[in-house]
Amino acid sequence: MKKIKLELVFPEKLKDEAIICDICKKFDIVLNIVGASFSTNTGWAIVILNGKEEELKKTTDYLTAAGVEIDDSEVIPG
């Protein structure tokens, strides 16, 4: 198992999409939201994902393809 911290930025076009819910359903990961703020124009979230490396890769690929910007990522030791 691997744990990563992501800083996500959501553009206005995704404001009505359930992206975070989708990744929890589509991929075998555990997600923890450690900070977030959303407005009518944009949003950001800091999340920690825990799962197998291939599931984490699928998750980040999905987020990027959906239009979510990953500002920063960090592997959390443990």
Segment 45-66 shows an average pLDDT of 97
Q: Is the pLDDT of residue 32 over 90?
A: yes
Model confidence at 78, in pLDDT bands (50, 70, 90)? confident
Domains of the chain: 2-75 (3.30.70.260)
Q: What is the pTM of this model?
A: 0.91
What is the distance between the alpha carbons of residues 43 and 53, in angstroms, rounded to a whole number?
26
In angstroms, the Cα distances linking 62 to 21, 29, 34, 38, 58 are 13, 13, 20, 20, 6
